[in-house]
Structure 1
Amino acid sequence: MFSPSPWPPPPAAHPLPENSSLVGTPQFQEILKDSSSLTHKILQSILGAHRSCVNVETFKLNSSENHKLASLASSIGIPSAPALSALSANFTLNTMLRHMLEGLQLHKDLLSHVLPRLEVKEHVIDLTHDLNDLSVQILKMLKLSQKEGVSKPTPTGLTLDLRGSYEVQVAIHLILVQLQAFEQDMDRCLRSLEQNPPLEEAEY
């Protein structure tokens, strides 16, 4: 849940197993650029949201101890995010984009559930708006890529067991930890589709 698989650095040229002509079009690349910008914005916003909402001193975004809270994540009811990886014969462009949409919807739902219990809400509200904006961009790419009709992901209908203030703190911490890892994987996926990717990958 909290240990995303390592990715190699984006290569100079990206062999695309499918839809390579579509990915290279100016329209797709423009949406891709907007999506990458939003992803970077979200990664920065996660840092601010964590600082404003999490007041347990030992809860750190990039702590190696976060995996020890996995059992609490399960008892609270926080599902794992959909897996993202580089394009391959078994992980197509359509699959990648659908997993992105599903993961964004999941984290919007998770944040919406914990939001009423937070003392400071502003950063999380802004974060959910950014997640929604990114979903719109990913949906645009999926509509270009997928010939059949594409519908917006529906709310997950999940519920969280937030019995007390400590569980609320655990929940928002772990949601942001998982969202950060998911957005970092999204950033790598999007970079792998760029025709002229940056030479260096930003760190968050």
Structure 2
Amino acid sequence: MNAGIVIALLHCYQFAVLVQSAPTTVPLLDFREAVERTRTLVEKILTDLPTVHAATVNIQGLTLDSSSQTANLQMMVTSLGIPASPVIKPLSEQFTLDTCVSRMSAGSQLYQGILGVLSERLSGLGDLKAELRDLLLLINKMKEAAQLSGANSSDQSAASDLAARLQDDYKVQVAAHLTLSQLRSFCHDMIRSLRNIASHRSRAAGAR
């Protein structure tokens, strides 16, 4: 066999071995882009919340200002059965990226479900529902880019239970106020967490 042909075949074999042994990791840039797009949408939701609140809640004294949260309103949270947002913490060995992103997903699903119930009694929530739907899609892209395995799950029974408790317009208004207030706090937590994730991944990449 011609020596040139032998050398060429050896090069092809070595290339094939390298391709098979290469790690199948997703480029960090893809994950960074997914994180940034998610953060941008969460910031837009935060910007839109005051407008949505003004369009849907007309009870005097109920604003998104935290100072308006009284003991009576906190009692309404319990009586209406409005669930708390999933807790999001800084990344650590105990609170992994997988857990963090899964809780972002669960919270977004939770509020999408509650807004779905409220939108049957109130107008002006459609755009916010659509933004939460888009947010879930972006969170899924984050999970795919980071190759995370956590399942997207949320207890949707809370939304059904809430629907049964909205017997009058006053309770509907209060439920909308409390939901939008909690969603705002959840979005702030998400922003902090997304910044933490971006910083954490950057440090991890620099250490390699």
TM-score by length of 1: 0.77
Query: What letter is aligned with 2:65?
Result: N
SS at match of 1:96: helix
Is the Cα–Cα contact under 8 Å of residues 24 and 195 in structure 1 kept in the other structure?
no
SS at match of 2:67: coil
Give 4+ residue runs of structure 1 displaced > 6 Å after superposition: none
Report which of the two structures shows the higher radius of gyration computed on alpha carbons: 2
Query: What letter is aligned with 1:157?
Result: S
Match runs of 1:1-204 below 5 Å? 25-68=28-71, 69-118=73-122, 121-122=123-124, 124-146=125-147, 148=149, 151-153=151-153, 156-158=156-158, 159-160=161-162, 161-195=165-199
Aligned equivalents of 2:55, 2:26: Cα separation in 1 = 38
What percentage of aligned pairs have identical amino acids?
35
Residue-by-residue CA offset, 1:80-125 (whole Å, 9 max, x unaligned): 110011111211100100000000000001111111111xx23x11
Distance 1:103-1:67 versus aligned 2 partners, 3 A rule: farther
Point out where structure 1 has 5 or more consecutive residues left out of the alignment: 1-21, 197-204
Query: What letter is aligned with 2:182?
Result: Q
Give the aligned length. 171
Q: CA deviation at 1:145?
A: 3.0
TM-score by length of 2: 0.76
Report the aligned-residue RMSD: 2.1
SS at match of 1:117: coil
Distance 1:85-1:60 versus aligned 2 partners, 3 A rule: same
Q: CA deviation at 1:152?
A: 4.0
Q: Which has the higher helix share?
A: 2
